[in-house]
Structure 1
Amino acid sequence: MGLKFIKISVVYFVIGVCIGMYMSMTQKFTFTSVHVHINLLGWMSMALAGLIYVAFPSAEKTTLAKVHFWIHNISLPIMMIGLAFLVSGTEKAEPAVATGGTLMVLGIILFAINVLKNCKNK
């Protein structure tokens, strides 16, 4: 699971950087919140989770790690696509942001439980 987290985090990093480049080139910063969230929740958080899982194989091999991976990677696109529409003026996208955000929090709580339960001194 650690390697899967690291690899998908790089995909989110590319997406986040491309959004930043687009905003810089157009001088339109409407998607700043999307750019920041993709870099933080996609790139940084997932890369760090991957490194933690690599460092603690007892946490990496759990069902919690797999569920965390899938919840994180389902909720983030839902939340970010919804947020992109919301900041573009589509108020009907608010439920997507709320749903994705709630699922994200659930995934992060599962990650925290996994770390607290399974990351121990070797």
Structure 2
Amino acid sequence: MARIDIWFLLLAAVCLTAGVSMGIAMGILHDFSLAPVHAHANLVGWASLGLFGLTYRAWPGLRDGWSARLHFVLSAPAAVLFPLGIYLSIAQEQPMLAIVASFLWLGGVLTFLGKLARLALTTREEATEAAPAPVLPMPAE
């Protein structure tokens, strides 16, 4: 999946927008009963998906193979459904979606762990090399 880094980062930014918006709404209403939903949108959505994307960007060798796609297919819906499931658990006392989403998330995390372990154990230097830092143009003086 050639652009998996961008897809992870794009979804992370969407989750960040949702989490921040929810935080603002909670602050305006002075009602923080859904703080766990807000926290999971930011932690699972923004922080974790963003770190996945940056890791794929830094080590392009991780993008190779079917497991990168599997990682996204498990993690992307889980990051969206997990906060929604927590909401349903708090507001409606229906925890099933949160439970299912947490297992999807675990599957994505274990897939990522496997990819990192495989990369760490590989002897091919080109596979373990981090991508070079981009050269940014210097502003004209």
- Asked if TM exceeds 0.5, the reply is yes
How far apart, CA to CA, are the structure 2 residues paired with 1:34 and 1:50? 22
Equivalent residue, structure 2, for 1:61: 64
Equivalent residue, structure 2, for 1:78: 81
Matching residue's letter, 1:101: S
Q: Which aligned pairs between 1:2-81 and structure 2 lie closer than 5 A?
A: 2-81=5-84
Q: Could you say which structure has the larger radius of gyration?
A: 2
Matching residue's letter, 1:43: W
| Contact 2:40–2:82 (Cα < 8 Å) also in 1 | no
How many residues are aligned here? Answer: 120
RMSD: 1.3
1:100 aligns with 2:118: no
Give the TM-score normalised by structure 2. Answer: 0.80
Matching residue's letter, 2:28: M
Gaps of 5+ in 1: none
How far apart, CA to CA, are the structure 1 residues paired with 2:47 and 2:71? 15
Gaps of 5+ in 2: 121-126, 130-141
Give the TM-score normalised by structure 1. Answer: 0.91
Larger helix share, 1 or 2: 1
Deviations 1:58-95 (A, max 9, x none): 1023311111111111122222212112212x12x211
Q: Percent identity?
A: 24
